[in-house]
Structure 1
C-alpha cells in the first residue's frame, strides 16, 4: 500500500471567512503525516488550541493527491 501523505498547516487569516494568510512567513507548518487519521489528530489539537482566535485556522492538505508518478503534470517535480 502506498503512503497517503498529508500536510497540516495554519495561521492567521486576513478574513475569517477566507483562506488568505495575513503573513505567509508566519505560517505554522505542523508537519507531514503518513495518513489522514494522524493528520486529523494533529489538526484537531491545533484547531482546539486556537479556538478563541477567529482569525486563526488550520488546514489539512492531501499531498498524495498532488503527486501522481504516472501523470507528468501532477504538480510535483523530480529533482536530482
Structure 2
C-alpha cells in the first residue's frame, strides 16, 4: 500500500510539473509575441528631419521606419 501511495504522489507531482511547464512555455510565447508587436508599434527610430517626407495624401511619415508622424 505504501508503495502505491508513493507512486501515486510521484505521478501527481510529475503531472503538476508538466502542467506548470506547459503554462510557462505558453507565457514565454505570449511574451515574445507581445514584444514583437511592441517593436512594431513603438519603433526605435528617432525620426530625423532628413528622413521625414510627405505621402501623396499629405501624411507626414518617417522614411527610415515608415512610421506615421501626424
Give the TM-score of the pair, scaled to structure 2.
Answer: 0.27
TM-score in terms of structure 1 length:
0.24
Higher relative contact order (CA 8 A, sep 6+): 1
Structure with bigger helix share is: 2
Higher percent of residues as strand: 1
